[in-house]
Amino acid sequence: MRRLLRQILLAPAALATGMAAWAGEPVVLQLKWQHAYQFAGYYVAQDKGYYRDLGLDVDIREGRPGIDFVAEVVSGRAQYGTGSSGLLLDRAQGAPVVVLGVVFQHSPDVLMVPARSGASSPQHLVGKRVMTNYSTPAVAAMLRGETGSLSKFGLLDQTNDLTGLIEGRLDALAGYETDQPFLFLQRGFPVALLRPIHYGVDFYGDNLFTSEAELRRHPDRARAFRAASLKGWEYAMAHPDEVVPLVRRYGSTRSLEHLRYEYQAMRALILSDMVDLGYVNPGRWRHIADTYVDLGLLRRDYSLDGFLYDPGPDRVWDGVQGYLWAAATAVGLALGVILALFRFNRRLRREVRERLSAEQRLRRSEQRLTEAQRIAHIGSWELNLATGRAAWSDEMYRLLGYEVGGVESCLENLLCRVPAEDRGKLAQALAATRGRADGAYRVEYRVDLPGGETRMVDERGRVVLDGLGQPLLLLGTTLDITERKRYELALKEQRTYLRTIFEHDPQCIKLLDRDGALLDMNPAGLAMIEADSLDQVRGHPLYGMVADKDRGGFVEMVAAVFRGEPRRLIFEGTGLKGTRRHLETHSVPLWDGERRGVRALLGVTQDVTERLRAEEKLRLSAAVVEATQEGVMITDPQLRIVAVNRAFTAITGYQEPEVVGRKPALLASGRHGQDFYQAMWASIQAVGSWQGELWNRRKNGESYPEWLTINVVKDTGGGIIHYVGVFSDISHLKQSQSQLEYLAHHDPLTGLPNRLLFTARLEHSLERAERNGYQGAVLFLDLDRFKHVNDSLGHNIGDELLRQVSGRLGQAVRKEDTVARLGGDEFTVLIENLKDSDDAARLADKLIHGLTDAFVVDGRRLFIGASVGISVYPKDGRTVDQLLRNADAAMYRAKEEGRNTYRFYTEEMTALALEHLELQSRLRHAIEAGQLVLHYQPQMELAGGRMVGLEALVRWEHPEQGLIEPSRFVPVAEDTGLILSLGEWVLRQACCQARAWLDAGLEFGRVSVNVAGKQVQRGDLLAVVQRALADSGLPPDRLELEITESFVMKEAERAIDLLRAIRALGVKLAIDDFGTGYSSLAYLKLLPFDKLKIDKGFVRDLPWDENDAAIARAVIALGHSLQFTVIAEGVENEAQRECLLRDGCDQAQGYLYGPPMAWDRVEALLRREEASVWRVVGL
């Protein structure tokens, strides 16, 4: 061994032979993609000679499409490679890959969306076109985690389709944060980034890996390759300006600007200033594996065994410089003492006279040196390279686990304590002295002691040359650094522990300088202030994010902390994106090592927005509880009262101190049995609540009714923590309950039973009749002429009249019969145990005659009558609805047949009613289906024979029944309200047809349209007319509206203003069916009519009936005196025409001139230009 060591030091050839086993050995690094800053550390390691210094000749091969970088490494064509977190899937699929170290602590995978899209979360992309697949696993995991399934997206296979996103063929594109966003910026297309880490998906990015075979066969080479690569990465991340051109020299096609952008983006992903390069966290890999399991890409029984490389103890010199300088001083002292000892020995040989004194001094020096070495755990040694003899200090023996002087101090006894894997390091360190001018070296290695303990030592040595420049001695010291290494490891673990807490704490952790500027902040804090990265806010004061009202307190807090005083502050802050939050921060001073000054403010901040809202809600709830008029009682699970409100005291008389700690049973009134309370608690236990009425007792002994609601309050685990009872005193409600019961079942005006009570009694009567086999009757009574009294004399008179009618009806029936008022002037009578129908008829006659005598109301004598309908059960019905409906039908028959009489129900009435309903339904359908048409009848000038207008008359062309006359369906339309939509349709159709004739150049005079009374009553007739004229374009003077005399006179006061407004449009107005109503001349002269139409009833018997002739002459004279044009309808023969013409009538209408005709026939007639055509043809 001594000869080998001398050869290493003396002969370069021998050294080369000894190291030829792996020095300069060629290896291949396969990159996963094309040259970029993403692989800068490896370029630096090669360019700076880091690989070469460790005996490696590295060939860096660029990745490109079609090259499987994992297969290259597994097959042995490459020994090392770079890959993403997908290496875990490759391992699971049988590829024996091993991760040597992590370069990117966070994955660069992002999902890019157009900034203008407003998509700020994966939820906004559901149903959208997303280009990604499992080549960007972090993005896939984010999408699935946020929405539950990747099937919710329109996934497209991954390509670098930037144009697709710009042109809108894609809604989102997965890619690298370090690359594509720069390309989008170059194209002027801003994108927003959805980062998986913001959604709990934190994958590693690029990893350095090798194969199990390489690691097994060449463990030292793998360790050396890893160390040189990480050293290259340290340099690359610290010197971007130097490395960017280097990346270009390696063949990258990216611009310098692009590479600088890539470097800046990588800083937040590699975190080289916070995490040791190459650091691997098995917990993170388990998180990644669990995510793959959730995606269905990895089995649940996965294993990480053998997947992660263990580099062994960290040998980096880290942070104990004071201790090392002390050790170095001791080593220097030891070397100096040793050299002095040699000089003393030589001098002793020359100076015999001073031998004794020199020996004494030497022994003292040796003793001091030995003691110093023992204290510092430093051993010294020397090796004579010529003789191979060595000398060890006492401490050197102890460091190697030998008794002092127990073994020969030689190189062999040293090496037998050094593990085989560390001997190469020692040989390499010795070989390195060849290239150093001072011949010094330094190496750390392990020492295995006999008891099984392993120590770590730091050896420093130097070659001493003789006068000819040849190696003579090897001098050195060996320092025990085991405790230092343990301290360094503990320090590193503590730093990792603290960094893990810092990175993953859900609360904001921050460091501020004395100006309030941000020094550092964890991800939770960045999310809280809505910053995309630490670089975005590092160095910026946080004062600007604090609300104006709280900024002074925040500044004072920072100042106090830098005075050494902890502070707590709640303030309102606004994030960079505008979100406002209430925050609570606890800040303490971060002292320097000697507590002489505060280095920074360390603050822990949490979002208390929801807590403050909850506290405010609790305060409001407490205020509501205290302010409410309902009593509130809260108990614990054992039913001990813990709190009551003021209303409880007001209702029960008990103050809160009197009841707290007691049970609610102190309020029990004794009115409820055990069964009641058992049922109540059974409901509470089953559904968590109970509500009902019960009686309790006040403090003064008085019982009172209350309405009580009990609810269970549970904690988050489902356990009961409180019962809450809310109750109100319903004593007054109970007192008024009988009154409400009465009001609910009786008519408030007359005191008679109302419809509800009458229906109930009728139902009970029907049940008894069914059981006992007897019959009964229902009389439906409606007052005649009551509406005239009510409208003319007022409601007060009408109400008193109804009360007197009720009294007479009650006197006319038996005690067991029921008289009820259903509403308005409708009354019903229930007769039970009826012997025969004659009894019902006699009672109906009695009721009618009982109302014939005058009623005296407010000094007036009023006369009314009654119409009565009778239905008998079970003959006319077996249900309440049937009997009331049939009695009502019979009553209407009595009215139709003269009023002031009674009628029994017959089945014919039901048939007529059904026919009426069926006709109503068909009419509604006819309006919607377009089955209605207009016919037009000419209106002629009597004197000249020319046509002056056309009256529009509606007809119903039923597809099965043919033409249905208006006399059948118009009354139905008026009864049901359909007349409103029907009348508007007629008006619009007539206006449109008239406009069409005008456009065709055909002259017809005016078109006349009938208006129903309900159209006037509704109040919007003016608007309807205006719309019809505007939509059709018909001039207003071409339209004439006909309104019946009876309606106009009945509603004269209401109609005057409306008719004047319509007349102001230019529309002509006519009174229809004149002579059939009761016209008031006072109103007639005020109404703005233009024409008066004599009813056909007075024309039919002209000229033979002198009475009709006299009426016709009077109407014509009246009309002319009022400046009206007079027209007669129903003119069917020449005698009628001549009579009317002789009496001065202006116009006529009837079958003498023509029947109502469809529009096309009228149009054909209008096209005949000869005026005589109308007379000859006899329209």
- Rounded Cα distance between 1105 and 1101, Å, is 6
* CB-based burial, 198-218: b 16+ in 10 Å, e otherwise: ebebbbbbbbbbbbeebbeeb
Give the model confidence (pLDDT) of 378-388 as tens digits: 988 888 876 66
Domain match, 663 and 756 both:
no
- Please give the average per-residue pLDDT across 1085-1092, as a whole number: 82
Domain match, 195 and 208 both:
no
Confidence of residue 909 (pLDDT cuts 50, 70, 90): low
Most confident of 461-470, 1008-1017, 1137-1146: 1137-1146
Domain match, 256 and 390 both:
no
Give the model confidence (pLDDT) of 497-518 as tens digits: 888 888 888 999 999 999 999 9
- Where residue 1049 sits, what CATH number does that domain have? 3.20.20.450
- Rounded Cα distance between 519 and 1179, Å, is 105
Report the largest interatomic distance among the alpha carbons of the chain, rounded to a whole angstrom: 189
Give the model confidence (pLDDT) of 194-217 as tens digits: 988 878 788 998 999 999 999 999
Domain match, 1047 and 1137 both:
yes
Reply yes or no on whether the pLDDT at 697 is more than 90.
Answer: yes
Confidence of residue 313 (pLDDT cuts 50, 70, 90): very low
- Rounded Cα distance between 86 and 129, Å, is 24
CA-closest candidate to residue 230, choices 315, 340, 300, 346: 315
- Rounded Cα distance between 648 and 215, Å, is 81
Give the model confidence (pLDDT) of 931-943 as tens digits: 888 999 999 999 9
Domain with 778 in it: 746-905
pLDDT confidence of residue 658: 93
Given 605, 636, 669, the domain boundary residue is: 605
Give the model confidence (pLDDT) of 456-484 as tens digits: 999 999 888 765 667 778 889 999 999 88
- Rounded Cα distance between 924 and 779, Å, is 33
Kindly tell me the sign of the dihedral angle through the C-alpha atoms of 978, 983, 989, 992. negative
Domain match, 117 and 192 both:
yes
Per the domain annotation, does 1109 fall within a domain?
A: yes
- Where residue 897 sits, what CATH number does that domain have? 3.30.70.270
- Please give the average per-residue pLDDT across 309-326, as a whole number: 46
pLDDT confidence of residue 911: 56
Give the model confidence (pLDDT) of 589-609 as tens digits: 999 877 888 999 999 999 998
In degrees, to the nearest 5, what angle opens at C-alpha 79 toward C-alphas 78 and 81? 80
Per the domain annotation, does 493 fall within a domain?
A: no
Q: Say how far residue 133 (Cα) sits from the centre of its chain.
A: 27
Domain match, 1035 and 1121 both:
yes
The encoded tokens of residue 816 equal: 């067991």
Mean pLDDT computed over every residue of the chain: 84
- Rounded Cα distance between 85 and 207, Å, is 7
Confidence of residue 343 (pLDDT cuts 50, 70, 90): low
- Rounded Cα distance between 730 and 735, Å, is 9
Given 703, 735, 767, the domain boundary residue is: 735
Confidence of residue 1104 (pLDDT cuts 50, 70, 90): confident
% of the chain exceeding 90 in pLDDT: 45
pLDDT confidence of residue 6: 41
Given 146, 164, 199, the domain boundary residue is: 199
- Rounded Cα distance between 477 and 392, Å, is 10
CB 542 within 8 A of CB 569: no
Task: Based on DSSP, count helices (H) and strands (E) in the chain, helices before strands.
Answer: 45, 42
pLDDT confidence of residue 315: 37
The 10 Å Cβ neighbour count of residue 812 is 17
Domain match, 103 and 117 both:
no
- Where residue 179 sits, what CATH number does that domain have? 3.40.190.10
Per the domain annotation, does 613 fall within a domain?
A: no
- DSSP lists the bridge partners of residue 1011 as 1043
Domain match, 172 and 273 both:
no
Give the model confidence (pLDDT) of 722-739 as tens digits: 999 999 988 887 777 767
Give the model confidence (pLDDT) of 408-435 as tens digits: 888 888 888 899 888 888 888 887 876 6
Q: Which of 571-575, 887-891, 1097-1101 has the lowest mean pLDDT?
A: 1097-1101
pLDDT confidence of residue 405: 85
Residue type, 1077: G
Residue type, 779: L
Q: Which residue has the higher pLDDT, 148 or 318?
A: 148
Task: Quote the radius of gyration of the chain (alpha carbons, Å).
Answer: 56
Per the domain annotation, does 1 fall within a domain?
A: no
Confidence of residue 1025 (pLDDT cuts 50, 70, 90): very high
Confidence of residue 492 (pLDDT cuts 50, 70, 90): confident
CB neighbours of 159 closer than 8 A, spacing ≥ 6? 131
pLDDT confidence of residue 27: 96
CB neighbours of 104 closer than 8 A, spacing ≥ 6? 204, 205, 206, 207, 266, 269, 270
Per the domain annotation, does 394 fall within a domain?
A: yes
pLDDT confidence of residue 135: 64
Most confident of 731-745, 777-791, 806-820: 806-820
Confidence of residue 1076 (pLDDT cuts 50, 70, 90): low
The encoded tokens of residue 23 equal: 């020095």
Give the model confidence (pLDDT) of 517-569 as tens digits: 999 999 999 999 999 999 999 999 988 899 999 999 999 999 999 999 999 99
- Rounded Cα distance between 59 and 29, Å, is 6
pLDDT confidence of residue 1075: 57
CB neighbours of 382 closer than 8 A, spacing ≥ 6? 338, 390, 391, 473, 474, 475, 476
Reply yes or no on whether the pLDDT at 973 is more than 80.
Answer: no
Residue position matching structure tokens 């998906």? 201
Reply yes or no on whether the pLDDT at 322 is more than 60.
Answer: no
How many domains does the chain fold into?
7
Domain match, 769 and 844 both:
yes
Q: Which of 169-173, 1073-1077, 1098-1102 has the lowest mean pLDDT?
A: 1073-1077
- Where residue 521 sits, what CATH number does that domain have? 3.30.450.20
Confidence of residue 1176 (pLDDT cuts 50, 70, 90): very low
CB 41 within 8 A of CB 12: no
Reply yes or no on whether the pLDDT at 491 is more than 70.
Answer: yes
Domain match, 144 and 94 both:
no
| Enclosing H/E stretch for 334 | helix 321-350
Confidence of residue 1019 (pLDDT cuts 50, 70, 90): low
Domain match, 978 and 1100 both:
yes
Domain match, 517 and 642 both:
no
Per the domain annotation, does 5 fall within a domain?
A: no
Per the domain annotation, does 302 fall within a domain?
A: no
pLDDT confidence of residue 772: 84
Per the domain annotation, does 3 fall within a domain?
A: no
Residue position matching structure tokens 């660069």? 108
CB 935 within 8 A of CB 1157: yes
Q: Which of 111-115, 140-144, 919-923 has the lowest mean pLDDT?
A: 919-923
Give the model confidence (pLDDT) of 1-52 as tens digits: 444 444 444 433 333 333 333 347 999 999 998 889 999 999 999 999 999 9
CB 260 within 8 A of CB 236: no
pLDDT confidence of residue 500: 87
CB 604 within 8 A of CB 585: yes
What is the DSSP track for 1149-1174?
ESTTT---EEHHHHHHHHT---THHH
The encoded tokens of residue 1177 equal: 């043809």
Sheet holding 56-61, edge to edge: 56-61, 25-30, 80-83, 207-211, 97-102
